Structures are given as C-alpha cells and as structure tokens.
Structure 1
Amino acid sequence: MPPTTDHQSFLGRSILSIRRNQVSAMETSSTSQDQELQDLDIFQKRISDSFINLTSSTSPPDLLSIEWLRKLLDVYLCCEAEFKAAILLRRDPSHITKPPMDRQIPDLVDRAVKSLDICNAVTNGVESVQHWKKLADIAVGAMEQKPVGEGQVRRARKALSNLVAAMSNEEVMSSVNNGKSTERAWSFGRKGSSSGGGGGGMKEGNVGSFRSLSMTVSRSWSAAKQIQAMAANLAMPRGGEATGMGMIVYIMSTVMVFVMWVLVMAIPCQDKSGVASHIPIPRQLACAAPMIGLQDRISEELKKREKNKGNAGLLEELQKLEKCSHGCIELMDSLVFPVEEEKAEEMRAKLGELGETCQKMEEGLDPLRRQVREVFHRMVRSRAEILLIFDNTGKSPSPIL
C-alpha cells in the first residue's frame, strides 16, 4: 500500500529535525572549542607576562635572593589564581570529571600533594638558615667591643666555624633545626591542631611542626627524588587535547614543578644532592622562554657552587654569609695579641659586611617563610575544592584520594 501524504510529511519533518539538531550540536561544539582556545590563549599570555616581568626585573646579583624568591612565589600564586579562573570559574566545574580532564586533574593534584612536602622541607630549611644567621650574629656582637681581646676572637671564631661546618655538612644541615627529631611528619595539618588546610589558626610559633595525616616522612625522604617524581610523567598533551583545557592543566603542572625546583635549589633541603639541573619545559610553549632562561641561569649558579663542594642552597644571602665567614676566620687566624688597631679595624670591616647580610636575612626570612606557608595552604584548599567537585558528581579519582 503506497505511503500516505501525511506519512511522507512526517518523515520529512523528522529528517529535518535531526539535521537541525546535528547542526546545532556542531555549532555548540564549535563555540565550546573557540571558547577553550580563547581561554588557553589568555592563560598562556598571562603566565608568560608574569615570568617575563620576573625575568626583566632581575639583575644578576638579585637572582635567588630572598626578595627574588618572594617575587617568584607571588608569580606562582597569581598563576594558580588564573588557573582556577580558567578551569573552574568560567564554566561548569563538573567538566573536570569528564575525559580527558578526569585523567589530567588527578595528576596535577598528585603533584600538588608532593609539593606540600617540599613546602615543609623548605620551611625547615629556612629555619636552618635562621639558625646560621644567629651564629653570625654572635660573631658580629662579640667583635663589637673595644679593645678586641683574645676571648672575644675565640668566641667569634667558634661561632663562625660552627656556621661554616653546618653549611658544608649535609648531615648537620638536616638536623640543625634547634634539636628537632630527625624524623619529620609532614603534609596535612600540624601538631596539636585539626587537619584542615584552610590556614586558619596557624600560629607563628609553630613553624616546622607540621604533622602528616597521610604519611610520615623520615630521614630517607629526598627532595631530589620528590622533584624527580613530580616531573616524571609531565607529558605535553597531543592532538585535540593540545588546544583545550588539557594544555592549561599541563602548563600549571609545569609552573608548579618549576617553582618547587627553584625552591629546592635555593633553600637547604633534606637530600637535595643529585637534583636535576634542568626540568622538562617544551620550548614551543608561549611561556617557556622566560622559564628556560631562568633555569639556565640557576643551573650556572649550581655549577659554580658544585666546584666549591658546598651542600647549602643557592640562596644569594647564603653565598655571602659563607664567603664572609671564611674571610673572617682567615683574618682571625692571622691575629697576634694584643691586636693592633689597624688589624682590629680590618676585622670590624669584614664583620660589618657580614652584619649587613644578617640584616637582610633578618628582614626577609620571616616574610619568605609566611609566603611558603601561603602556597602550602593555597594548594590544600585547591585540592579540597577539586575533591569536592568529584564527590558531588559521584566520581572517585583514586589517584588523588
């Protein structure tokens, strides 16, 4: 029986409706891809501008100084804010639970968890530096009295000898923190408090007393291995993922690894020997050039340091502290008592240079420590926000739980 006119009309309308839906879906997909490309371009430009500004404002003596590290941490915090704006704020957050983001986001958060231990190691390293500064303060104070006596010189020399020994001995460096136990508990939380990562209630007197709710880190923990683990599977997205949100996640991971690498290079950390002189940063990234330039300059500083067989960090103030201490010890060893006024003035001049370095450290180390702590808590909060999104969507990203 031949089809009726009504049946033909119905089939025509159905086919037309399907085609319209297909066109609408293609247009929606195209709009979404265009938005992702735009977000990626904006994100890359802002990250690139941040590192270009950091590089252009850095003269050779300022690289790896306390002030420069604080600027670097400011850049990281800005990058982290831009990342959350691009990934979470301008779109439905649940998209991070869908492929390919459901693989990439857990990798990023796993690096953040590893970064928490590095932040704590750096905090302990800053405390070591503060301890060494106190030894230098003892030497400076001992030599301020006139006339210079043998007892004063002996006291100053002992303090500087202890300082130099601590800076050159990795075992001393890892346990010098005011008699702390050699086994440290790191990551989430701290002694005598709740485990939340929101940063509330942390008192200044509790520096370095973090207590782990996830793992206990002993003396076998290695900063070098931690950086290696963070960079191990840092693979640049390919194909369609290279032009979307996946690339933003990759760039943020690269920034995170780079910043943690710089902190480990600059600040005394447990078992940093063997840390790679470079981390993988693809040159085709828009933000790669300034980061690679900084990495090359830091690597040159590392080569100079390795020639001197030193184990302390590349922090500029540490280099000056060690150099001044060696110079003062040599001069003290050449003194003949009673000390001639000319020699005493030469001694005071060298100790004056040491005192200037101590003053810079006095002014900068506490703010640096607070900034490292701010990075720590920002990472904890971001991790909690991401886990909440996965929880609300019924997903269970096992790698980051």
Structure 2
Amino acid sequence: MPATDYQGSFLGRISIRRNQVMSMEGNHEQELEDLELFQKHVADRFADLLPPQPSDETHADPLLSISWLRKLLDAFLCCEAEFKAILIMGRETSQILKPPLDRLIPELLERTVKALDICNAITNGIESVRHYQKLAEIAVTALENKPIGDGQIKRARRALNSLVTAMTTEDKDGNNYTRTWSFGRRGAASGNNKVTGQLRSLSWSVSRNWSAARQIHALTTNLVAPRGGESSSLASTVYVMSTVMLFVMWAMVAAIPCQERGGLATHFPVPKQLAWAQSMIVLHEKIGEEWKKKEKKGSAGLLDEMQKMEKLGQSLIDFTDNFQFPAEDERVEEVATQVAELAETCRKMQDGLVPLQLQIREVFHRMVRSRTEIHDLLESNGKLSAPMV
C-alpha cells in the first residue's frame, strides 16, 4: 500500500477511535496495536529510502540526491502526522501527564526547537548550493561554444576555480555563510506559495558560535530507548519519533552546507535489535562512512549533485589549464561529454532546489504547529511552566 494510503487509513482509524469509549484493558490493547502499526510504517518508509543492490535494475534515486532528500522529508512529514495522532487524538489529557511522559514530552518539545534551528540553517545552506549552480552554469555556457577559443576558456576557468574553491573551503570558515533565517513572513507563512520570490527572508542574525554539529549532538541528549514496560507504551512512540527527527536532521546537515559541521557525530544512539530502526541504521552507516571520507577531503557536503559537480569541475579545470588551440578532437569529445553531464546536474539543481526549500519550510511550520498544540495541551493542565521559545 502506498505511504499516503496507509497513512490516511491509519489516521482515519484513530479519528474514529476518538469518539469511542473503551475499557482500560481495551484501550491498552488498542494502544499496542497503534504502536505496532506506527513502527511498521516507519520501517517501511525508511526501507524505501535504502539504495538499490548492485543486482537491482530499478532506477532508484541516488543516496543524498535532491530527489532522495525530498522523499526523506516526505517520510518525516508522514511519521510526524501519525505520531501526533497517536499522542493526542482519542486520548484523555491525563494519560500524557503521567510518568515517564511528563518528562519525555517536554524533552521532545525542546528537541523540536533545535530541529527548527537546523531547518533554518539548511535553508541558508541551499542558498550556497544555488550559488555553486550559477558558477557551474557559467562554465557550461562558456564551454558549450563551438569552436572553443581562449576567451571561453578563460571565462570557464574563472568560474570553475571559484566553484571548486567555494566547495572545498565552505566548511573551514563559518563566516562564509549568510547568517539570516529564510522562512516566509508571518503573514504569508500559511500560504501555498510556489514562487521563489515569495520565500522572503526574515533576516535576523544568528550567533557566530552556532554550530550544526553541536546542534545535532544536542538532539541526542536524553535520547534513551525505553525499557521494560515502557517499550510497549506511549514512551516508545515518543522515542521512535525523536529518533526519526534526529536521523532526518543529521542526514540533511551531512548533505547540505551548514555553519560549523566539523566533527559531525557519526554515532547513532539506537539499539541495533530494534526492528523498526533497521533500515535507518543501515542508511546511517552508509552516510556516516561517506561523511568520514568527506571530512578528510574537505568538500562542502554530501549532496549527490554537489559531489558530481565537484568531480566534473576538477576535471574541466585540468582541461582549461592545459588548453592549447586547436584542441585535439578526442579531448574535445571527452570534454563535451563532461560539459553535458555538468549541464544535466545544473538542470537537476534548477528543478529540485526550490521545491526542496519549500518542503523544508513545510517541515518547519508543521513542527511549529505540532509543538504549539502539544505545549498548549500541557500548559492548560498546569504541567508545563516554561515559556514557548
């Protein structure tokens, strides 16, 4: 069953349950069933994100490509909707005010605040990627000219050198990042805007000491798998959602340039025996291996399109540095193939980056709404005294 179908079925079922009166025993059995279904849906969604096996002939989206990241965010939005339904719908408020939920839910709310900061940083990072795209497009335009002359070579070389330099030094100097938050103004936040120009910046400053790596580490604070009876209760549901949030934010930070990612943790604090987490653990290991290579090399991120752009850029720089007119036909054909690949990569960025940015914005606002609803529910019962952040 497609993700949207079983999500709708799941949410509809909980909505029906909201008006039912059950015995405590029946309610517990229903809760166990909801938890099992939620965990199954999480497992299925992340299994769909696994890279294909070498023998698999399907054309799956490359790991950490723009299209893959969009599927990742879709999975997060589906999980988040189901989690909120389990937590709030068809439930007496008193049930989420008892230990250990009286501690776990406020911790989740604080974790959400940190995730919101990461969404903002990722949006700024996408602006860096758009800058790389523009530099690559300049080089493509110059090298597509026939015949290639010294003027085109010089223009392409300048653009390619700027591209590769920016991509290889971005992480080394946090000052390279524009320190503004980039979500829509409050009046337009709820609109269904699809135009780039409507993504107006809020433009408030962030600290020079803000670190994406530290923020990811902070998401792991108090993230401990429930034991004993808690493993089959709402406490487990909160843990699953917290883990999904951690993985999604970590993967986005690894893929997209962000302020201060040095030392980004590659340890995933999730027990390997948990069935619903198996695909997530495999994905984390694969991305973590690539991140370790990336840190040694010093490139700007693991986004698949950026990796291709950097590789092609280095090769084309070698061509422009050693260019002599007239160029050999064989070499010209080879370069034409690489230029076509770079143009295709730019096209994918052109088509995908704005929708990705809008999707991150949707994740941001969804988390804000959910946090507000849960916070207000707790506050109305006098169980939460901390002000909203």
TM tier relative to shorter chain:
0.7 to 0.9
- Superposed, which structure 2 residues align to 1:255-294 within 5 Å? 255-294=244-283
| TM-fit CA distance, 1:392 | 2.8
Q: Deviations over 1:355-401 (max 9, x none)?
A: 11111111111111111111111101101111221233233242865
Which residue in 2 is equivalent to 1:131? 131
Structure 2 residue identity aligned to 1:362? Q
Q: Using a 3 Å threshold, how does the CA distance of structure 1 residues 87 and 61 change in structure 2: closer, same or farther?
A: closer
1:398 aligns with 2:371: no
**Quick one: distance in 1 between partners of 2:122 and 2:192?**
21
Note if contact 2:171-2:261 (Cα within 8 Å) is conserved in structure 1: no
Greater Rg by CA: 1
Q: TM-score, normalised by structure 1?
A: 0.83
Q: Deviations over 1:122-173 (max 9, x none)?
A: 1111111111010000011012222222111001000000000000112687
Note if contact 2:171-2:300 (Cα within 8 Å) is conserved in structure 1: no
1:204 aligns with 2:199: no
Q: Using a 3 Å threshold, how does the CA distance of structure 1 residues 70 and 103 change in structure 2: closer, same or farther?
A: same
Which residue in 1 is equivalent to 2:75? 75
| TM-fit CA distance, 1:338 | 4.3
Identity %: 51
1:301 to 290, 293, 305: 290
| TM-fit CA distance, 1:57 | 5.8
Note if contact 1:273-1:311 (Cα within 8 Å) is conserved in structure 2: no
| TM-fit CA distance, 1:43 | 1.4
Which residue in 1 is equivalent to 2:112? 112
Higher mean C-alpha displacement, 92-101 vs 122-131: 92-101
Aligned length: 363
Which residue in 1 is equivalent to 2:11? none
1:51 to 29, 46, 55: 46
| TM-fit CA distance, 1:175 | 5.3
Note if contact 2:87-2:234 (Cα within 8 Å) is conserved in structure 1: yes
- Superposed, which structure 2 residues align to 1:101-180 within 5 Å? 101-170=101-170, 174=174, 180=178
Which residue in 1 is equivalent to 2:10? none
Q: Using a 3 Å threshold, how does the CA distance of structure 1 residues 344 and 171 change in structure 2: closer, same or farther?
A: same
Higher mean C-alpha displacement, 235-244 vs 313-322: 235-244
Q: Using a 3 Å threshold, how does the CA distance of structure 1 residues 76 and 173 change in structure 2: closer, same or farther?
A: farther
Which residue in 2 is equivalent to 1:63? 63
| TM-fit CA distance, 1:58 | 7.9
Higher mean C-alpha displacement, 56-65 vs 367-376: 56-65
Which residue in 1 is equivalent to 2:311? 323
Q: Deviations over 1:246-274 (max 9, x none)?
A: 11001100110011000001111111110
Which residue in 2 is equivalent to 1:360? 348
1:314 aligns with 2:334: no
| TM-fit CA distance, 1:199 | 6.0
Note if contact 2:132-2:163 (Cα within 8 Å) is conserved in structure 1: yes
**Quick one: distance in 1 between partners of 2:134 and 2:165?**
14
Residue ranges of structure 1 left out of the alignment (5+ in a row) = 1-26
Structure 1 residue identity aligned to 2:86? A
Structure 1 residue identity aligned to 2:213? A
